[in-house]
Amino acid sequence: MPSLKTIRKRIGSVKSTQKITRAMKMVAGARLARAQARITALRPYATKTGQVLTQVVSTMEGDEGPIHPLLADRGEARVLFVLVSSDRGLCGAFNSNVCRAAERAYREQLTKSEVVEFATIGKKGRDFLLRRSIPLAHHFEGIFERLDSGSPQIVSDWVMGRFLREKYDAVFIVFNEFKNAIAQIVRVQPLLPVPQPEAVAQENASGGSNLLFEPRKDVVLERLVPAYVEVSIQRALLDSNAAEHGARMSSMDSATRNAKQMIGKLTLQYNRARQAAITKELMEIIGGAEAIKK
């Protein structure tokens, strides 16, 4: 049985860890509230942008003139996956889930494409790919440190540039979609060429929308398509950021409760060891007193 000093030291160590996990939970909770507010505010805008884009494209069907290059379907001979993870750990299965989903998508895509590469946002995803020798085309450093100062545009410009130069024929983004503080859903969504939601397209085909364009439809489309790509990336980043804070808060809450249980078990062990030591000392005293009497 461990000595009383060893048990006391372990109890102190677990209590220190509990203070850290409790503080991390509170910090993650505060950051989650801000991140949740941002993604909740962005989602309606992102959804409406996609709907308007689909409506514009549907009205241009059959028109003479060039199709926007970001809408061009060239197949999937050369594919890029944009993997969104976190820069730090201690957030449960947040990173492992999205990284495993990205690896599965990579293995499946290899059977259909000549070239499959990754661009990563977040150090955990980058390290995961490097350990498995999966081709890494680019890593975006410090994106989550400046989410409100042009980070989505940096990513969208890089991705659209490679797509327009035909380095890649299709681009997918892999990220954790935020549902609530304890639930995240891994998404593998097409980014380029810009997908067209079928429900909205059918509505437009049946005359469900009536749009007026100023100055011309092609000018509107020239501005709208890059804006849609950027807002899609921004939504994925904000979703992943909120999901990370939710996962970390849940993980630290679980760690704090586990530390409390461990402290209880160690305290019980300490009390039993102390009781055994006291009983042993009493027996020695009684034995000594009996020996003196004889």
pLDDT in tens, the chain (294 residues): 678 888 889 999 999 999 999 999 999 999 999 999 999 999 898 888 888 887 777 776 555 544 688 888 888 899 999 999 999 988 989 999 999 999 999 999 999 889 999 999 999 999 999 999 999 999 999 888 877 768 889 999 999 999 999 999 999 999 999 988 888 899 999 998 887 655 444 444 444 456 677 777 777 788 888 999 999 999 999 999 999 999 999 999 999 999 999 999 999 988 888 888 888 788 878 777 777 776
65 with 18, same domain: the answer is no
Distance set, CA 88 to CA 122, 229, 248 (Å): 8, 27, 10
- Cα separation of 193 and 191, whole Å? 6
Are residues 30 and 122 located together in one domain of the fold? yes
Regarding whether 217 and 270 lie in a shared domain, the answer is no
Same domain, 203 and 97: yes
Rounded Cα–Cα distance for residues 293 and 282 (Å): 17
Helix (H) or strand (E) holding 186: strand 183-192
Do residues 34 and 139 both lie within one domain?
yes
- pTM for this prediction: 0.84
Q: Nearest CA to 163 among 130, 126, 117, 131?
A: 117
For the beta carbon of residue 287, count every other beta carbon within 10 angstroms: 10
Mode of pairing for the β-strands spanning 170-180 and 183-192: antiparallel
Domain extent at residue 51: 26-250
**H/E element, 120:** strand 115-121
